[in-house]
Amino acid sequence: MWQLQGFGRPQYTNTVFPFSVSVKSDGTPNIPYEGNHTGCYARRFMVPTEWREDLIRLRFEGVDSAFHVFCNGKEVGYSQGSRNPSEFDITSLLHFDSENTLAVRVYQFCDGSYIEDQDQWWLSGIFRDVWLISFPVNHIADIQVQTHLDGDYRNATLTTKVNTITGSSIPVTIKLLEQSQSLMTSEKETDVTSSTSFTLSVSNPAKWTAETPYLYHLIVRTPHQVIAIRVGFRTTELKDGVFMVNGQPVIFRGTNRHEHHPQFGRSVPHDFLRADLLLMKKHNINAIRTSHYPNHPRLYHLADELGFWVIDEADLEAHGFADIEEAALGPDKDNLRGKERQNFFYDLASKWTTDNPAWEEAYVDRAQQLVYRDKNHPCVTLWSLGNEAFYGRNFQAMYDWIKAYDPTRLVHYEADRKAQTVDILSQMYSSVDTIIAYAEDPVSTKPLVLCEYVHAMGNGPGAIKEYIDAFYKYPLLMGGFVWEWANHGLLTKTKEGKPYYAYGGDFGDQPNDGNFVLDGVLFSDHTPTPGLLEYKKAIESVQIISGSENEIEIINRYDFLSLDHLKCEWEIVGDGYVRPGGEVIIPQDIKPGQTASLAIANEDKMSNLPAEGYLTVKFTLKEATSWAPAGHEVANGQIRLKSYVFPSQTSSSYLSTIYKTISSLNTYPFLVTQQDRMLLVIGPGSKWTFEMTSGHLVSWVKGGKNMLCSPPIMDFYRALTDNDRPQDGMQWIEKRLHQTNDHFKSISWKTTHGDAEVSVVTRIAPPVFEWSVDTTTTYTFSSSGVRIKVHGIPQGINVPDTFARIGLTFQMPPEFNTVRWFGRGPGEGYIDKKLSQMFGTWEAAIDQLFTNYEFPQENGNRTDVRWVSISSGEKQLKAIFPFGEGGNFCASHYSTEALDSSRHPFELEEKRLENVVFRLDFAHHGLGTGSCGPKTLDKYALKAEEFSYEVWLE
């Protein structure tokens, strides 16, 4: 890609065209010359002399966007269709006794660019392999393989259609070999003229599925040519509206995948591609949508071997025309909302190319290139006509051609919103309620797939489990494909030489769509984000339904496999302890969709648990596979055995049997005294100081060291996530939630029976508006620490519908660099993104708690935390959450303001604090997928309502 080699510059747009849309006299779009760069390539090569009698082809697997080819100074031809192959016969132009020169002239844009407007970087060049291939004069031109199973899905018929070059008669022999290459069956030599079909009957072959990717070898031989094709026996169909493979319903637990490398753009090395697919398998992903074009041929070979269902998509998207129509409509468009708005502009935009008969041949050609190239891959389960190019006559023409040529597969296209043409209904980013309503509607007859869902931009996605539960409950739901696999940051450097991953606008590219290109479950270096771990958990193949200390009930979520290939082990984890368990015997032959009970031989290891405890169960591979070693964890789960117990909030003592470091609240007479503008509370080994003009606790001196670098402040805001910005976050900014400040009203204190208590009344409010949260904060002091209670009442007009968080934020000295906690971990968690995090006692350095998102935002929260301690070796501060399921904490070296004001990690690093920002939250708003999908679900939303919050610091 020449923009990554120092020529021109990368440009990222999501939907809009990066060039002026020009229209010819016949109304069809044209491409302007201005800004349309040309890349000229030259290569010298020798041709093997043994090829002298052969036909020689020059093949390009991918060139963006169009090109002319010259051989030894003579023009060979022209081609366009960036992600489709092109072949040229150059036999007559070659020298066999001297050097040859190949020249290629590549154009950045052509009229085909109007239907290659995919959400990705605009990059140009020869980005896939270029081959010189020899053929005998009389040779096989094409082979089409199809497998058909009988009504019992047991025995099979293998049909092989062989086409030769026109008019030639060639003797052909066909053999089918086992994986071991032993002969299964064969067809005797037959003379083939033009086109002949061979039929082989195969008795009960092993069936190919994404879980059992068994491949046979088909050998097609002529006197001068041998072609090997790997064959997987499988059949796809719809039965009563249910998508079936080999007679079994299949659920897509998939991902969308763009071709992208952080240094080479769409030129993706084979090892990098293979590592991606291995990572998918290890995270329970079983399906790939090649968004939004045919991928490199190697992907399909790997998918055949490793086992993936593939939706293979044509290189076709014309999204930018919708922006033209939307802009043209003017203010009237403001009356439209959601899907109604999108459908309206899609209908208008279809006139440009999709419903324009002048473009029919171009559309059908892209369907043909897709199907001709990939038709023999068993992994290709559905054909997709393209993406976000509206709906019109040319898609009907594509569909008709595909179904005539390959009736064995279903056809998909999302923008056919009513599935008038295609075989299945497809939607993007629909809510769970929407897909359930479709599945429950008695008039629904076609299956529904979410070709894009749970938009994984930045810190997210939230609420995945609700979708997965719906997929398995309703037979009409085929599953979905997370958007998307990886961030598309391009590795570059600042002027000072600091490396970072760039997004739209970082190269001075205009127009651009900013960081919307960073929306994957992998970071740009292709390491997993926390979102991938959450997705793996949601789509795991074994799920625990319920359980006790003696037994758990599970369900098999595989499509074809039993659980015989898995090993199950258990242990007990709790507050500060781990008790080893043992292996659990899994009953034989638990079929897909079946439930089973697993007995736990507890041997009294679950009795007399000292504190809250969990039965932890893990399912791992018994033996190594092609994609993971033995012992790889496939699924896990926890059953609570002993609950989190605290006294009522009215109790004056703590359960020392649970937390032995907590002592009685009434063991020492406290001295409370006023000095100038300060209120001092003096206890055993500690001195607390309040500033009486603000009500803030400004210091806590213990052992001669102040534990606080800033006072604990009640806060309701978090640095915006990508998913916040277009949803709740927009209102938070509008209502100035991020600008709230304390407005001190009063401070009072009392001592009773040696007990000291300070009460502060505060109005927390933003500028401009009159809404506020009126709080009463009560500090009760003990020999071990302080108990903080906050009661808050939101009031006034313009109160936000939700808060980002409710909690205290303060800073501590930099030597407090280690955190230990009991709750969910070890990774970050939020109320709707926490199921991948297990209960346990965890420990980490402050920097290990931080998630370095490529666009800085809220991160690093830990949830369902019972207690957390932050230590500096000799000293520690312990916070205990005596309510409900516990609280949340976050510890980092970055303030909310620093996160909000930074656009790249290198900018954030410049704002790193020496001190530790420590956040203790009563509650935290969910994440949702609102960057391109549903906002935070109502049940995970933190409503702006009256609250009571308590935390104990010791």
- Residues 6+ away with beta carbon under 8 Å from 608: none
How do 287-289 and 309-313 pair as beta strands? parallel
Residue 7 has a CB neighbour count (10 Å cut-off) of: 12
For residue 338, is it left (φ>0), alpha (ψ between -120 and 50) or beta? left
**452 annotated active-site:** yes
φ, ψ dihedrals at 917, nearest 5°: -85, 115
Give the active site residue among 325, 326, 452, 466.
Answer: 452
How do 916-924 and 867-871 pair as beta strands? unpaired
What is the C-alpha end-to-end distance of the chain, expressed in Å?
A: 59
Beta strands in 736-884 (DSSP E): 741-752, 755-765, 772-781, 786-795, 805-812, 818-825, 838-845, 862-865, 867-871, 876-880
The SS3 call for residue 107 is: strand
Take residue 40 and report the two structure tokens written for it. Answer: 């000229």
The three-state DSSP-derived secondary structure of 682-717 is: EECCEEEEEECCCCEEEEEEECCEECCCCCCEEECC
The percent helix, strand, coil of the chain (3-state, each to 5) is: 15, 40, 45
> 762 near 929, Cβ under 8 Å?
no
> 786 near 757, Cβ under 8 Å?
no
Give the active site residue among 388, 484, 540, 549.
Answer: 388
The SS3 call for residue 62 is: coil
> 408 near 378, Cβ under 8 Å?
no
Task: List Cα–Cα distances, 92 to 59, 297, 597, in angstroms.
Answer: 16, 28, 72
Take residue 747 and report the two structure tokens written for it. Answer: 């401070």
> 415 near 209, Cβ under 8 Å?
no
Task: List Cα–Cα distances, 286 to 212, 251, 476, in angstroms.
Answer: 11, 9, 19
> 722 near 770, Cβ under 8 Å?
no
- Residues 6+ away with beta carbon under 8 Å from 340: none
**Can you tell me the distance from the alpha carbon of 594 to that of 398, in angstroms, rounded to the nearest whole number?**
40
Strand order in the sheet with 805-812: 713-715, 805-812, 916-924, 887-892, 862-865
**Can you tell me the distance from the alpha carbon of 449 to that of 447, in angstroms, rounded to the nearest whole number?**
7
Burial class (CB in 10 A: 0-12, 13-18, 19+), 761: middle
Beta strands in 16-54 (DSSP E): 22-23, 29-30, 38-45
**Can you tell me the distance from the alpha carbon of 235 to that of 209, in angstroms, rounded to the nearest whole number?**
10
Take residue 397 and report the two structure tokens written for it. Answer: 């023409």
For residue 484, is it left (φ>0), alpha (ψ between -120 and 50) or beta? beta
**388 annotated active-site:** yes
**Can you tell me the distance from the alpha carbon of 347 to that of 495, in angstroms, rounded to the nearest whole number?**
46
**Can you tell me the distance from the alpha carbon of 950 to that of 947, in angstroms, rounded to the nearest whole number?**
10
For tokens 């491949």, name the residue.
215
**Can you tell me the distance from the alpha carbon of 432 to that of 815, in angstroms, rounded to the nearest whole number?**
46
- Residues 6+ away with beta carbon under 8 Å from 592: 248, 556, 557, 558, 559, 560, 561, 562
**Can you tell me the distance from the alpha carbon of 277 to that of 275, in angstroms, rounded to the nearest whole number?**
6
| Tally of CA atoms within 13 A in the half-sphere of 553 that contains its CB | 6
**Can you tell me the distance from the alpha carbon of 127 to that of 111, in angstroms, rounded to the nearest whole number?**
20
> 257 near 291, Cβ under 8 Å?
yes
**Can you tell me the distance from the alpha carbon of 938 to that of 921, in angstroms, rounded to the nearest whole number?**
19
Active site (catalytic) residues: 388, 452
